[in-house]
Amino acid sequence: IAEQFGTLESLYPGRIDLGLGRAPGSDQMTARALRRERSGSADEFPEDVTELMRYLGPRTPDQRIIAMPGTGTNVPVWLLGSSLFSAQLAGERGLPYAFASHFAPRFMHEAIRVYRNHFKPSAVLDKPYVMLGVPLVAADTDEQAEYLATSVYQRILALMRGQSLVQRPPVETMDGLWLPHEKAAVGDFLGLAMVGSPQKIRAKLEVLIEQTQADELIFTCDLYEHADRVHSYELLAQVMKS
């Protein structure tokens, strides 16, 4: 990882961030297929963070393992998470924290509180720095946004059912595609989703920023048509500029 991100930092100086999290980043079957070493565990994550940051920092006289490229690049490291564990660890290490509110919004406020309460100034940060993940479906009208969002709903539903995550085109209605408890589960998953016209998106963002005092937002826009995704981001850019 140190050499991969050291290479990226060498190619694009100042444009690379490294986000570290405990989750496998895939479904469990894929995670098992990719795992070549079973001796490690998520419990060793704090030590793994320390080791990786050492590889990216300045070389020391007694350092026997050197990341090339990597050593001395000091790639900015973020801790990612959807739990209070990562929030506390990020605070104690004085690292920026990115919370996975794009799929786990239920614990967002508590995670932010834990992070800020445990924050200790470091060589990286002198005060807490929080980023929040936000699902986005912006369109010219609320009705169009709700229509496009059905692609997102279908994909989350497939994830919960253990089905293929291939993108699905939007539908006029989700009635008949999900059961009541599945609808509720998808709603919880996407509890922070910004779906609507620019005016509606602006109002929701103002509330979110006021409630959380987040320093940065990162958006995911999982729409079927590429043009709809681009337009969604264009509308978001207009909202942010205004």
- Profile the chain (242 residues) by mean pLDDT over runs of 10 residues: 94 95 71 58 84 89 86 92 95 97 95 98 96 98 98 97 95 97 96 97 97 98 97 97 88
Q: Are 221 and 149 in contact (CB under 8 A)?
A: no
- pLDDT value, residue 25: 62
Q: What is the pLDDT of residue 62?
A: 84
Residue whose structure tokens are 């989703």: 193
Which pLDDT score is estimated for 153?
Answer: 98
Q: For residue 22, what pLDDT is reported?
A: 86
CATH 3.20.20.30 segments of the chain: 2-128
pLDDT for the residue numbered 174: 97
At 130 the three-state DSSP class reads: strand
C-alpha pair distances (Å), 120 with each of 95, 116, 175, 228: 9, 9, 49, 42
CA dist 91 and 87 (Å) reads 6
Are 225 and 218 a contacting pair, CB within 8 Å?
Answer: no
- Within 8 A by CB and 6+ apart from 204, the residues are 194, 196
Q: Which residue has the tokens 């009635």?
A: 175
Task: Give me the CATH topology for the region 2-128.
Answer: TIM Barrel (3.20.20)
What pLDDT, on a 0 to 100 scale, did the predictor assign at position 175?
Answer: 96
In 57-107, alpha helices (H): 84-93
Give me the pLDDT at residue 59, please. 86
At residue 23, the pLDDT reads 76
Q: CA nearest 220: which of 100, 59, 127? A: 100
